[in-house]
Structure 1
Amino acid sequence: MTKLYVGHGVKITLNFELRLDSGEVVDSTFDKAPGTFEFGDGTLPAGFEELMRGMASGERKIFQVKPEQGFGMQNPQNLQTFRREDFSHLDTLEPGMVMSFADAAKAELPGVVAKVSDDEVIVDFNHPLAGRHLEFEVEIIELSEMDGEA
C-alpha cells in the first residue's frame, strides 16, 4: 500500500487548533471530535491546506499564518453604511454585535456592527479574522484516498 500524504484527492481526518498571535484560542477540535474533509473542498482556506500539503498520518505541526494565507486582509470596501432608521426594530444596537444580513443572492451574510451614530450604522462584512496573524496547529489522524464519489 502506498503511503498517503495531504494533497488533492485525499480525505483528511485531523485535529486542529487556531490561535490568535496573543495565544487566545479561536477554535479547536483537540477536545472534541476530529474534523474530516477532502483536500480542496473549501472547508479550510486554501492557504491552510497548502501549509498541510505533504504531511502524513501521525504528523503534528504548528504553522504561523500570515493574513494573506488565512482570511485575507481587511478590505475597506467591506464596510457598509446603513441608515440608523433601518435598525429601528432593534431594542439594542451597539458596536461588536454580530448580525445576519442577506446578500444580493439572498444568501446569509454575517456582519459586525462597527459604529453607531444618531443617523447611521457602519457594518463590517470582513471576516472577523481578516488581517490577523494566526497560529495553526494541526495533527493528521488519518488519510484516505477519495473513492471517486462526487
Structure 2
Amino acid sequence: MKKIIFIAALMMTFCFLQTKGEAQMISAGKEVTIDYTLKVDNEVVDSSVGKEPLVYTQGSKMIIPGLENALEGLEPGAEKTVVVPASEAYGVINPEAVVEIQKDKLASEETPEVGMVLQMETSTGQPMVGMIKEIKENALVIDFNHPLAGKELTFEVKVIGVK
C-alpha cells in the first residue's frame, strides 16, 4: 500500500512540475514580455533594452510573424537570436507601392525634400505614410513601402515573463 501511495505521489509531483513548465512556456494566448534589440545590416535600429519591455499576446499577430513563430516554446530567462527574412517581416519591396504624384495634388505647405516622410489619405480615407524618393520638375516619386520592407531583420531577444 505504501508503495502505491509513493508512486501516486511521485506521479502527481511529475504532473505538477510538467504543467508548471508548460504554463510558463510561450504559447498561443499567453501574455509575453520581452526585451529585444533589432538590427538591420548589423546596425541597431530599435531596442527596448533600458526602456519599457515589449508586451504582446502570442498568436495575436501583434508582432511580425517570423519573430512570433521563433519565440514559441521559450520560457522566461531564455535568450535567442532570431534572423527573420523579409517575407516573414514587413514583406518584400512592392514596386507598385512606389508612385509618382503631381506636386499640385499635395496639400503640404512644406518644401518637399528627398527623404521627407509624408502622411496622406487614399480616396477612401485610409491613412498612408510614404517617403519622397525623387523630386521631378512637376512631380514627386513617393515610396509607400514599409521602411523595413525587403530587409532581413536580426532580433536579439530575452524573454522576461510569460503569463
Is TM > 0.5 for Structure 1 vs Structure 2?
yes
Query: Judging changes above 3 Å, is the alpha-carbon distance between structure 1 residues 89 and 46 closer, same or farther for their aligned structure 2 residues?
Result: closer
1:13 and 2:44 matched: no
Q: Which has the higher helix share?
A: 2
Gaps of 5+ in 1: 145-150
Q: What is the distance in 2 between the residues matched to 1:65 and 1:26?
A: 15
1:103 and 2:119 matched: no
Q: Which moved more, 1:32-41 or 1:121-130?
A: 32-41
Q: Which has the higher strand share?
A: 1
1:34 CA displacement: 0.7
Residue-pair matches, total: 143
Aligned Cα root-mean-square deviation (Å): 1.6
1:31 and 2:50 matched: yes
> 2:59 is aligned with what amino acid?
G
Q: What is the distance in 2 between the residues matched to 1:118 and 1:87?
A: 14
Structure 2 partner of 1:148:
none
Q: Percent identity?
A: 28
Q: What is the distance in 2 between the residues matched to 1:137 and 1:129?
A: 17
Q: What is the distance in 2 between the residues matched to 1:10 and 1:89?
A: 44
> 2:47 is aligned with what amino acid?
S
Deviations, residues 77-125 of structure 1 (Å, cap 9, x unaligned): 1112110222374332111111111234423221111111011111111
Query: Judging changes above 3 Å, is the alpha-carbon distance between structure 1 residues 53 and 103 closer, same or farther for their aligned structure 2 residues?
Result: farther
1:142 CA displacement: 0.3
Q: What is the distance in 1 between the residues matched to 2:33 and 2:124?
A: 33
- Decide which structure has the larger Cα Rg and report it: 2
Gaps of 5+ in 2: 1-18
Moved over 3 A (4+): none
SS in 2 for 1:7: coil
Q: Which moved more, 1:118-127 or 1:95-104?
A: 95-104
1:68 CA displacement: 1.0
Structure 2 partner of 1:147:
none
8 A Cα contact 2:29 2:60, kept in partner: no
Q: What is the distance in 1 between the residues matched to 2:58 and 2:107?
A: 44
Higher relative contact order, chain-length normalized (CA < 8 Å, sep 6+): 1
What TM-score comes out, normalization by structure 2 length? Answer: 0.81
8 A Cα contact 2:25 2:74, kept in partner: yes
What TM-score comes out, normalization by structure 1 length? Answer: 0.87
